[in-house]
Amino acid sequence: MEQATLSSAAPGGATANIEDLPLTPRVSIVVPALNEAQNIPLVLPRIPGEYEIVLVDGGSTDGTIEAARACRPDARIVTQQRRGKGEAIECGVAAATGDIIVTLDSDGSQRPEEIGLFVDALVAGADFVKGSRSIEGGGSTDFTPLRALGNHFLGGVANTLFGASYSDITYGYNAFWHTEADRILGGGDGFEGELLMPIRAAQAELAVTEVPCQEDARIHGESTLRPFRDGWRILKMFVRERVQHGRRLDTAKGTTAAAPAAELKLATEIA
pLDDT along the chain (271 residues), means of 10: 47 54 86 96 97 96 96 96 88 96 96 97 97 95 85 92 93 96 82 87 95 94 71 85 77 37 40 45
CB 89 within 8 A of CB 30: yes
pLDDT score for 19:
58
In 145-215, beta strands by DSSP E: 174-177, 208-212, 214-215
- pTM comes to 0.83
pLDDT for the residue 211: 98
| Dist. CA 187–CA 208, nearest whole Å | 18
Helices 227-245 + 145-162 axis angle, to 10: 0
| Cβ-Cβ contacts under 8 Å for 84 (sequence gap 6 or more) | 58, 188, 189, 190, 191, 193
pLDDT at 210: 97
